[in-house]
Structure 1
Amino acid sequence: MILKKYFIYGLLGLTIFSCAPRQEINYMQDIENLALDNSIKNSRGTLQPGDQLIITVTAKDMDVVKPFNQTYSSSATITQYSNPSSNNIPQQLPVSGPTYIVDTDGNIVFPQIGLVSAKDENIETFRVKLTNLISEYVKNPVVEMKLINFKVSVLGEVTRPGTYVIPDGNTTLLGALGLAGDLTVFGVRTNVLVVRNVDGKITKERVDLTSAQFINSPYYYLKQNDMVYVQPNANREKAARIDPNTGLYISVASVIASLVIGVLALTKN
């Protein structure tokens, strides 16, 4: 009868425990109440000193655009995350082409044109700017531009913590968490930290993933070198404080207790 009572209590406790977290781990529970308009303006990060750009210029007559394609070409490897939610190993894709590095003043040196300022420009606006400059010399040029070193770090309570290179230079906070395999069950979803360094100025923001409000935040779209940290919950912190050898100690104590009981039993006999 006592065992039956404890079984019922345990079953009720398990039911409560299993149901409660489901609401906590749902992202953006009030998404239907908010519009996405304000987040569009933050979808592209501005170029920063140290950014590496592969820029190629083409036209109907390729001989005409040769002077605009520098002969030096560097190669790099970009990790392509084709299926972030799976445990598949990401594919390594080699990329190469004329590479330009944004200097400390926010400029690149482009053939035939000279210094071109990339300050306060994102990939798309800078591509248009460069296209217009080349159009003064070439009819209908096509400029292709890739940012090859855009990376973000995702640390803490995620499945695959690490630094991730984003091939297209554009990702959201949820996208980065997806690359890292999502939060573990021990991750605090209401207090995710995003640390940002723009032109030497470090800022940080705490984000509640369970509310759609954060899609209107400038931290919804991640910028170059952003760091995302997922805080562990109280259960994880308690587990971390427990001696990892506790299980071994309990096993040894159980064996010793069994031996003592056996010896006492033999002694009484």
Structure 2
Amino acid sequence: MNWKNCILGGALSVLLFSCGTRQEINYMKDIENLVLDNSVKNSRSTLQPGDQLVITVSAKDMDVVKPFNQVYSSTSTIAQHSTQSSNNLAQQVPSSGPTYNVDTDGNIIFPQIGKVSTKNENLETFRLKLTDLIREYVKEPVVDVKLINFKIAVLGEVARPGQYVFSEGNTTLLGALGMAGDLTPYGIRTNVLVVRNVDGKFTKERIDLTSAQFINSPYYYLRQNDIIYVQPNANREKAARVDPNTGLYISVASVIASLVIGILALTKN
């Protein structure tokens, strides 16, 4: 009967192994630390090297401001991978106008003026700074500055997690979540994490999307390189821990158990 005991023992081992749970998957561990690390690498609250700015200058007499728009070509467009389509492919969002890249020292080279620093400037303060500089040459200039590679990362339980670029230079928490296809049924809507850089200090805030009060949060309007993380609920975490081959193990164990029962029945006869 030793061989019968071996078969029964093997079948029970397979059953026990198939019903066991796997160790928690890596991306579920210390997720806040992972998001903070990512934010340290990418977050910034002011204009930074690598930013792309579209700057246009206008006035009552447009001929007067032509020298300040001399790099502009009305036929040129800037392709931005700012949205993702349903098949997760990047779409192009055209944006036309004189385009300036912030160099590694935080400067741009502007027509007639030369080097202009963007250090410690956000879009509005830089627009006012540039307006004052142009006012020395033009009466009542109107300056428009857009950041066309404004990036937000959306992670966790959303339909299309990833990094998104907004050609408008700004967006809201709802706008970013909408761009990512909204939360999945497994996302916790009462505990959405937003991580950002504020003057060199990294902060985080948890948002309850089920309460209208979150619109008053300073994290409702997003900043450059904010990171949004939607936490999975308990059902998703349990499903993530279970071995994906559990069904196969159970099927094999069932076959073995059937064979054992059949063999035992034959030996009794």
Q: Normalised by the size of structure 2, how large is the TM-score? A: 0.68
The Cα shift of 1:114 comes to 4.3
Q: Which amino acid is the alignment partner of residue 173 of structure 1?
A: L
Q: Where do 5+ consecutive residues of structure 2 fail to align? A: 1-43
Residue 218 of structure 1 aligns with which residue? 218
Q: Which amino acid is the alignment partner of residue 246 of structure 1?
A: T
CA offsets, 1:1-39, max 9 Å, x none?
A: xxxxxxxxxxxxxxxxxxxxxxxxxxxxxxxxxxxxxxx
Q: Which amino acid is the alignment partner of residue 232 of structure 1?
A: P
Q: Which amino acid is the alignment partner of residue 52 of structure 1?
A: Q
Residue 98 of structure 1 aligns with which residue? 99
Conserved 8 A contact 1:156-1:230: yes
Conserved 8 A contact 1:153-1:226: yes
Q: Which amino acid is the alignment partner of residue 185 of structure 1?
A: P
Residue 38 of structure 1 aligns with which residue? none
Against the structure 1 CA distance between its residues 59 and 78, is the aligned structure 2 distance closer, same or farther, given a 3 Å change threshold? same
Residue 49 of structure 1 aligns with which residue? 48
Indicate whether 1:160 and 2:163 are aligned: no
Q: Which amino acid is the alignment partner of residue 196 of structure 1?
A: R
Against the structure 1 CA distance between its residues 100 and 69, is the aligned structure 2 distance closer, same or farther, given a 3 Å change threshold? farther
Which 10-residue stretch deviates more, 114-123 or 53-62?
Answer: 114-123
Which 10-residue stretch deviates more, 200-209 or 163-172?
Answer: 200-209
The Cα shift of 1:61 comes to 5.5
Q: Following the alignment from structure 1 to structure 2, what is the Cα–Cα distance between the partners of residues 174 and 122?
A: 22
Greater length-normalized contact order (CA 8 Å, ≥ 6 residues apart): 2
Q: Following the alignment from structure 2 to structure 1, what is the Cα–Cα distance between the partners of residues 88 and 239?
A: 29
Q: Following the alignment from structure 1 to structure 2, what is the Cα–Cα distance between the partners of residues 93 and 176?
A: 16
Alignment of 1:70-85 (within 5 A): 71=71, 76-81=78-83
Alignment of 1:1-269 (within 5 A): 47-50=46-49, 51-59=51-59, 63-69=63-69, 71=71, 76-81=78-83, 89=89, 91-95=91-95, 97-101=98-102, 108-114=108-114, 116=116, 118=118, 122-124=122-124, 126-139=126-139, 141-268=141-268
Conserved 8 A contact 1:72-1:99: no
The Cα shift of 1:263 comes to 3.5
Please give the secondary structure, in 1, of the residue aligned with 2:54: strand
Which 10-residue stretch deviates more, 131-140 or 50-59?
Answer: 131-140
Conserved 8 A contact 2:147-2:167: yes
Residue 39 of structure 1 aligns with which residue? none
The Cα shift of 1:193 comes to 1.4
Q: Following the alignment from structure 1 to structure 2, what is the Cα–Cα distance between the partners of residues 114 and 199?
A: 28
Please give the secondary structure, in 1, of the residue aligned with 2:48: coil
Count, aligned residues = 222
Against the structure 1 CA distance between its residues 198 and 132, is the aligned structure 2 distance closer, same or farther, given a 3 Å change threshold? same
The Cα shift of 1:166 comes to 1.0
Conserved 8 A contact 1:48-1:102: no
The Cα shift of 1:257 comes to 2.1
The Cα shift of 1:205 comes to 1.4
Conserved 8 A contact 1:157-1:183: yes
Conserved 8 A contact 1:77-1:95: yes
The Cα shift of 1:163 comes to 0.4
Q: Where do 5+ consecutive residues of structure 1 fail to align? A: 1-44
Q: Which amino acid is the alignment partner of residue 165 of structure 1?
A: V
Please give the secondary structure, in 2, of the residue aligned with 1:64: coil
Conserved 8 A contact 2:93-2:167: no
CA offsets, 1:193-243, max 9 Å, x none?
A: 111123432111122222222222211111001111112222222222211
Conserved 8 A contact 1:147-1:169: yes
Q: Following the alignment from structure 1 to structure 2, what is the Cα–Cα distance between the partners of residues 108 and 47?
A: 15
Once the two structures are aligned, what percentage of the paired residues are identical?
73
Q: Normalised by the size of structure 1, how large is the TM-score? A: 0.68
Q: Following the alignment from structure 1 to structure 2, what is the Cα–Cα distance between the partners of residues 253 and 164?
A: 47
Which 10-residue stretch deviates more, 195-204 or 224-233?
Answer: 195-204
Superposition CA RMSD, Å: 3.3
Against the structure 1 CA distance between its residues 159 and 208, is the aligned structure 2 distance closer, same or farther, given a 3 Å change threshold? same
